[in-house]
Amino acid sequence: MKFKNPIKELRERKAEEKRRQEEEKRRQEAEEKKKRKRLLIISAGILAALLLIGGIGSLFEKPDSTLPDTSSQVESLVSSSTADLSTEPEETPSSDTEKPSETEKPSETEKPSETEKPDDSSKATDSETPTPPNVAPVIDLSSIPAYSGDPYVVVNNNVPGFTDADLTTTSFESYSSLDSLGRCGVAYACVGQDIMPTEERGSIGQVKPTGWHTVKYDIVDGKYLYNRCHLIGYQLSAENANTKNLITGTRYLNVQGMLPFENMVADYVKETNNHVLYRVTPLFDGNNLLAAGVLMEALSVEDNGDGVCYNVFVYNVQPGISIDYATGDSSLLDQGGGSQGKDDNKNDEPQNSTTQTYILNTNTHKFHLPSCSSVGQMSDKNKQEFTGSREEVIAQGYEPCKKCNP
């Protein structure tokens, strides 16, 4: 007796069943084709009959004929006949796809609101690109350690508070409105070469930030205790006498504290043509007119911080000088009161205001006479001409050259 393989028999049965199914499918398709053909013939016959009954000739000769309009009937018959031809109803577009639903229409939230439009305090290089909002970082002054000899202290492990949503390669600047006391708020920018200065720097002597005093001390470099400090430096933004960008800061804050970080950003942008997110926030204690310091944050965009990345608090102090931050009054620490030199806020522009042309080095922040030998050694990108008084240029954070002693 020959042995039968059950697995082979099972395969043969499945193959036979599959063949029967395919034959049945082909039979059904052949019948469906015949059905469609019959329906087409019937539809054509109905259409021809209706046209004959309606009198095709009279329709052309008498457009105003009172004969009944059979066109709708024809269309109805044809559509009903052709609808029966489809064996796959899912191919017929549904009403949902033929008519846009209400949710497909732009909603009100897609239209820019009034608050989304940048105001006069912001400037972007692309008018169609909205400027990111001016959001001050959350920081408590009580968390900042007291000044201990260094011009700045690292905050949040030197990591700035920008988010992925803030990253952009479109240059812009945005400045907060002055508060009820006239104090500056956060200044925010994406620094690129396209917003850096291309013109000679002008005078800022007319700006009087809160807490401003014109007062001299021999122990202060350049004599003047206070400078008009740009939150976003002029070399980064070309913003000069913008009241929303100038605070009263000590010479120490301006030169020892902020300038090295500004130079870091400026050098990086000039060398790479990349962009740097840059935010400076003045921090005031209560209603004080003088800021306790500024929080400086920066992050290079294209390389995600590989080029520039910092988060520091810079102290608004001057070694050897006691400062009343409520008013801006000051005194020498070793004299226990009584400020040295003149402090006349009724006319707080220096008396010696002879106008002269100086050459500024925007990198070293020194100023020279045009005839100084150092001017010839200066890089063109760092060279800038300034016309004004000696006191004005010092108040802007520049030191006199020790060679030409301007």
Question: Torsion angle of alpha carbons 192, 198, 204, 209, nearest 10°?
Answer: -10
Full DSSP string of 107-126: PGGGSPPGGGS--TTEEESS
Mean pLDDT on 24-36: 88
Mean pLDDT on 180-195: 96
Cα separation of 387 and 372, whole Å? Answer: 16
Domain boundaries, the chain: 23-63, 118-349, 352-406
- Residue 173 per-residue DSSP state: E
Residue position matching structure tokens 């870091």: 264
State the DSSP H helix or E strand holding residue 301, giving kind and residue range, or none if neither.
Answer: none
Task: Out of 23-27, 142-146, 338-342, give the one with best mean pLDDT.
Answer: 142-146
Residue position matching structure tokens 């220096």: 350
Is 160:279 a contact under the CB 8 Å cutoff? yes
State the DSSP H helix or E strand holding residue 399, giving kind and residue range, or none if neither.
Answer: strand 399-400
Q: What is the distance in angstroms between the CA of the first residue and the CA of the last residue of the chain?
A: 123
pLDDT at residue 401 in the model: 87
Is 226:204 a contact under the CB 8 Å cutoff? no
Cα separation of 103 and 96, whole Å? Answer: 12
Q: Do domains 118-349 and 352-406 have the same CATH topology?
A: no
Cα separation of 193 and 260, whole Å? Answer: 19
Question: Torsion angle of alpha carbons 221, 223, 228, 229, nearest 10°?
Answer: 10
pLDDT at residue 111 in the model: 39
pLDDT at residue 123 in the model: 54
pLDDT at residue 132 in the model: 58
Mean pLDDT on 265-292: 96
Mean pLDDT on 130-134: 55
CA atoms within a 13 Å half-sphere pointing along the CA-CB vector of 15: 6
pLDDT at residue 49 in the model: 81
User: What is the model's pTM?
Assistant: 0.57
Is 298:265 a contact under the CB 8 Å cutoff? yes
Cα separation of 373 and 375, whole Å? Answer: 5
pLDDT at residue 127 in the model: 39
CA atoms within a 13 Å half-sphere pointing along the CA-CB vector of 210: 23
Long-range pairs for 48-54 at CB < 8 Å and ≥24 separation? 50/74
Burial (CB count <10 Å: 0-12, 13-18, 19+), residue 108: exposed
Mean pLDDT of the chain: 79
State the DSSP H helix or E strand holding residue 262, giving kind and residue range, or none if neither.
Answer: helix 259-272
- Domain 118-349 class, CATH top level: alpha beta
In the chain, % of residues over pLDDT 90: 44
Strands (E), 2-104: none
State pLDDT tens for residues 227-271: 999 999 999 999 888 999 999 999 999 999 999 999 999 999 999
Tell me which of 3.40.10, 3.50.50, 3.30.310, 3.40.190 is the CATH number of domain 352-406.
3.40.10
State pLDDT tens for residues 314-368: 999 999 999 999 999 999 987 544 445 455 454 444 444 577 888 888 888 888 8
pLDDT at residue 388 in the model: 77
* CA 31 remoteness from chain centre: 67
Long-range pairs for 159-167 at CB < 8 Å and ≥24 separation? 159/309, 159/311, 160/277, 160/279, 160/297, 160/298, 160/299, 160/309, 160/310, 160/311, 161/137, 161/297, 161/311, 162/277, 162/279, 162/297, 162/299, 166/132, 166/277, 167/277, 167/301
State pLDDT tens for residues 1-15: 445 566 667 777 778
State pLDDT tens for residues 38-91: 888 888 888 888 888 776 555 555 444 444 454 455 455 444 444 444 434 444
